[in-house]
């Protein structure tokens, strides 16, 4: 059978609903943006092969294309359970988790999985570095503070806000308002401003960008005052 021949696949599938080739036909429909047929084929095929990773991945792509991100996330989790080396599913899982605003710890775990599968993945490297570097810096600051408290003559120490101001270099397609909130929660204020610049380039809501930018700048000022008092 020619797996690239849609008619042959359709005729074969019509007589063999239990075939393990259903993801091939479903993917053809998906690439044609015929999501209704793609979903129908997946549902039938998964009825016989519930844990078929390829079929689940096509279904995840359909859910994502139709904006059902939580359902897509659920399907991708299933895919990675039965096909843990699926790099495309791992990357898509991270992207969807980012848009859904999952916790930084969950995102960190997911991006580490991507990096383990693809050590050359630059986005994974940068995300992990930006999330973990503040933790290392905080440990250093705590150690320094403990040593300073033991000295007989106290000295006022002023720390800079968001000392790690290196460019985040996030992919434009990953730039979302949700990512801005994730960075704000991690006190990566300058990186959040960088993502807002990317959103501006993408032509996102200017009023929302302005409000978020003002919010981030206000957080920077507040943090600077708190650090001056410490």
Mean pLDDT score, 172-178: 74
**In this structure, what are the phi and psi dihedrals at residue 202, rounded to the nearest 5 degrees?**
-75, -10
Token digits of residue 97: 């988790």
| Chain centroid to CA 1 | 38
Q: What is the pTM of this model?
A: 0.61
The mean pLDDT value for 200-210 works out to 87
- pLDDT given for residue 137 in this prediction: 54
Here the tokens at position 193 are: 């401003």
Q: What is the pLDDT of residues 86-111, one digit of tens each?
A: 999 999 999 899 888 888 899 999 99
What pLDDT, in 10s, does the model give residues 113-169? 999 999 999 888 988 998 887 655 555 555 555 555 555 444 443 334 444 455 666
Angle at Cα 102 formed by Cα 106 and Cα 222, nearest 5°? 105
Number of Cβ within a 10 Å radius of residue 147:
9
Cβ neighbourhood burial of 194 (10 Å; 0-12, 13-18, 19+):
buried
Mean pLDDT, range 72-76, rounded to an integer = 96
- For residues 42-54, average pLDDT: 96
DSSP states of 5-47 as a string? -HHHHHHHHHH-TT-TTHHHHHHHHHHTT-HHHHHHHHHHHHH
Per-residue pLDDT reduced to its tens digit, 10-36:
999 999 999 999 999 999 999 999 999
Band the pLDDT of 76: cuts 50, 70, 90.
very high
Nearest to 200 by CA among 190, 210, 191: 210
What pLDDT is recorded for position 38? 97
């Amino acid at each position: 059978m020619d797996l690239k021949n849609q008619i042959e696949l359709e005729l074969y599938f019509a007589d063999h609903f239990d075939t393990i080739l259903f993801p091939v036909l479903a993917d053809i429909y998906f690439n044609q943006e015929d999501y209704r047929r793609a979903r129908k084929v997946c549902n039938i095929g998964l009825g016989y092969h519930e844990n078929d990773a390829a079929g689940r991945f096509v279904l995840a792509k359909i859910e994502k294309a139709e904006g059902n991100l939580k359902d897509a996330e659920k399907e991708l989790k299933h895919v990675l359970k039965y096909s843990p080396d699926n790099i495309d599913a791992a990357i898509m899982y991270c992207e969807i988790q980012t848009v859904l605003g999952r916790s930084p710890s969950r995102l960190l775990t997911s991006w580490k999985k991507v990096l383990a599968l693809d050590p050359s993945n630059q986005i994974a490297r940068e995300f992990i570095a930006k999330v973990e570097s503040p933790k290392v810096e905080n440990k250093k600051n705590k150690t320094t503070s403990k040593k300073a408290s033991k000295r007989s003559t106290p000295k006022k120490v002023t720390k800079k806000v968001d000392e790690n101001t290196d460019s985040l270099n996030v992919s434009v397609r990953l730039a979302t308002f949700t990512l801005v909130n994730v960075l704000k929660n991690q006190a990566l204020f300058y990186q959040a401003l960088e993502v807002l610049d990317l959103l501006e380039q993408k032509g996102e809501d200017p009023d929302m960008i302005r409000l978020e930018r003002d919010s981030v700048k206000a957080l920077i000022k507040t943090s600077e005052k708190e650090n001056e008092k410490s």
